[in-house]
Amino acid sequence: MLALCFVLFLSFVSAAQDFSGYQSDGMLLEAGFISLFFVPPGLRPGFAPEHPPSRASLFVLQWEWFRIYFESGVVKLMSGDPEWRNFTAMDEYYQNGPLPTWIGWYVQHLPHWFHAATVWATLSLELGIVWMLFLPRRWRIICFFIVTPWQIGVILTANYTFLNYLVLLLGVLLLDDQFLSPLLRENWRKRIHRQLGSSASLEKLQSGSTQTVRRWWRLAGLSASAIMLTWIAYATTAEMMLLRVPLPKWPIVALQPFRIANEYGLFAVMTRARYEIEFQGSMDGQNWIAYPFRYKPQALNEAPRIYAPYQPRFDWNLWFASLGSWRDYSIVPNTELRLLSNDKDVLQLFAGNPFPQQPPQQIRALLWQYWFTSMEEKQRTGMWWRRELRGLYAPTLERTPEGQIRVVQWPQWESHQ
């Protein structure tokens, strides 16, 4: 079942192209593939005492967990972004991310010393605390109780899809059976012991030839696991060291199509402002109506919500597009083009269609800059956001009576950055 899930998600990532170029996709594919050698086989294997997880697969999963943190810390320092060096990276972090949350709105209004402290804590955790993985058992347990509340805080204050949920679950591997066993209900512990005993008894009753076949089968599986896990471990370690040590690159290149040995680096450079693209339609070129979005900020009186682990990829791509030029993000003019024909698939990405009877004659994409309102302003007006128009983001398109598409107006600049 896990193998089927891996193949299906890899197929989706390959087909989605621009909608799947996120680090979280690579993290899930890498963890899913390594887990093929970690979990027992079968559709409903239960505790599967006859298939205990290998230590090698456990370590490679822990190694992925470590790299996500450590490589993210390294890129923060290597990027040269002054916000990390000046301890201002978190001052507007909650506002400027892809999809803020209402909890993040309140955290944003905490004093600067709090945000500076979270910068220090982030760098300390990513560059220092995660090394506790390689220390004795007691230190790993302490590390778990440090990183777990941290990930929960990130989940509550920002919508980073399933990324933080995945890192949170990988962190559970810092614990062991000795720690977890007392937390189980008594009947669960008895059930596990019964299965372990019955599995050992069954193996003794099997014939010599059956045991021989099983041993050879296990040896073949162990050999395949050893090759793949060593390959992944080498590729991911080499990616971290290539800048300083010349190592063979072909093992890395061979795994790239499968995205199971990746480099990670979150928030190397902080986003310094929040921009939003808004699509508007018109029947006469004078009166414009906005298309309402499902997830990303738009209405000023609407509280930002929590959507993770779900990822609205259309809204995410528009957030990235808002930071650059429409020429680099074809999703914007392509969306304009399809809205001119009331394309059903594209309209499903929006919360509603302001032109249900017939398509609009013109479509434009405006660029707004958004800010969280202050505490005082929210209490007075009830607004969560305020915004200011920056101008036309992409060409305004019109469908002529002959059915052709022409440009009515070009944007005045290619990028606001």
Q: Is residue 109 part of a domain?
A: yes
Q: Domain boundary residue among 223, 258, 293?
A: 258
Q: Domain boundary residue among 234, 258, 282?
A: 258
Do 156 and 221 reside in the same domain of the chain? yes
Token couple for 265: 């680096």
Total structural domains in the chain?
2
Q: Is 74 in contact with 265 (CB distance < 8 Å)?
A: yes
- 372 phi and psi, to 5 degrees? -65, 140
Report for 208-222, 243-257, 259-273: range of highest mean pLDDT: 259-273
Q: Is residue 190 part of a domain?
A: no
Cβ partners under 8 Å of residue 68, min gap 6:
27, 167, 170, 264, 266
Classify residue 382 by its DSSP letter: -
Do 254 and 289 reside in the same domain of the chain? no
Give the tens place of pLDDT for each residue, 296-353. 999 999 999 999 999 999 999 999 999 999 999 999 999 999 999 999 999 999 999 9
Q: Is 378 in contact with 403 (CB distance < 8 Å)?
A: no
CB neighbour burial string for 353-382, b if at least 16 within 10 angstroms, e if fewer: bebeeebbbbbbbbbbebebbeeeebeeee
Do 250 and 283 reside in the same domain of the chain? no
Give the tens place of pLDDT for each residue, 280-293. 999 999 999 999 99
Q: What is the mean pLDDT of the chain?
A: 90
Q: How far apart are CA 146 and CA 129, in angstroms?
A: 8
pLDDT at 122: 97
Whether residue 202 has pLDDT greater than 50: no
Q: Is residue 181 part of a domain?
A: no
pLDDT confidence of 180, banded at 50, 70, 90? Answer: confident
Do 245 and 322 reside in the same domain of the chain? no
Whether residue 199 has pLDDT greater than 60: no
Do 86 and 229 reside in the same domain of the chain? yes
Do 241 and 352 reside in the same domain of the chain? no
Angle between helix axes 2-16 and 23-35 (nearest 10 degrees) is: 160
Q: Is residue 151 part of a domain?
A: yes
Q: Is residue 266 part of a domain?
A: no
Q: How far, CA to CA in Å, does 387 sit from each of 300, 369, 370, 371?
A: 8, 5, 4, 6
**Residue 49's domain spans which residues?**
2-174+206-258
Q: Is residue 7 part of a domain?
A: yes
Q: Give kind and range of the element (H or E) at residue 211.
A: helix 208-241
Least-confidence region, from 49-63, 157-171, 206-220: 206-220
Give the tens place of pLDDT for each residue, 90-127. 999 999 999 999 999 999 999 999 999 999 999 999 99
CB neighbour burial string for 198-218, b if at least 16 within 10 angstroms, e if fewer: eeeeeeeeeeeeeeeeeeeee
pLDDT at 43: 75
- 263 phi and psi, to 5 degrees? -95, 145
Q: Is residue 318 part of a domain?
A: yes
Q: Is residue 81 part of a domain?
A: yes
Least-confidence region, from 7-16, 132-141, 233-242, 406-415: 233-242
Q: How far apart are CA 211 and CA 220, in angstroms?
A: 14
Q: Give kind and range of the element (H or E) at residue 368.
A: strand 362-372
Do 91 and 235 reside in the same domain of the chain? yes
Report for 3-7, 188-192, 213-217: range of highest mean pLDDT: 3-7
pLDDT at 250: 81
Do 315 and 383 reside in the same domain of the chain? yes
pTM for this model (two decimals):
0.90
Q: How far apart are CA 351 and CA 282, in angstroms?
A: 18
pLDDT confidence of 249, banded at 50, 70, 90? Answer: confident
